[in-house]
Amino acid sequence: MAPKGKVGTRGKKQIFEENKETLKFYLRIILGANAIYCLVTLVLFYSSASFWAWMALGFSSAVYGASYHSMSSMARASFSEDGSLMDGGMDLNMEQGMAE
């Protein structure tokens, strides 16, 4: 049974903080995935690594970079001249939202 009442909303500051944590999490995932690929393919199997292994690394890095840049631009916050938070950016953690 669905809960009754209004769905709770989050403030700009909470969205800003959660977006920072989300971007940090995805950056760690990206770096970890590339590190594992480099360790396995380019270090352990260095003698058999071909041109295509390097191309796959370059392509996956470009895709990861574009995805991360897209997410960080959606989550970009805006501040007023006195340094207070005006807009926390798009909520990256919202289910079925634009960022998803």
Q: Is residue 16 part of a domain?
A: yes
Q: Is residue 21 part of a domain?
A: yes
Confirm whether 77 is domain-assigned.
Answer: yes
Kindly state whether residue 52 falls inside one of the protein's structural domains.
yes
Q: Could you say which residues of the chain have pLDDT below 70?
A: 1-9, 97-100
Residue 72 lies in a domain: yes
> In sequence order, what DSSP letters do the residues of 41-56 get, joined into one string?
IIIITGGG--HHHHHH
Q: Residue 100 domain-assigned?
A: no
Look at residue 7 in the predicted model and tell me its pLDDT: 55
Decide if 68 contacts 22 (C-beta within 8 A). no
> Domain total for the chain?
1
The verdict on residue 96 lying in a domain is no
pLDDT of residue 9: 67
The range of the structural domain enclosing residue 35 comes to 12-87
CB 57 within 8 A of CB 44: no
Q: Cα torsion for 25, 26, 30, 31, to the nearest 10°? A: -30
* pTM reported for the whole predicted model: 0.77
**Which pLDDT value is given to residue 48?**
79
Contact 91, 20 (CB under 8 A): no
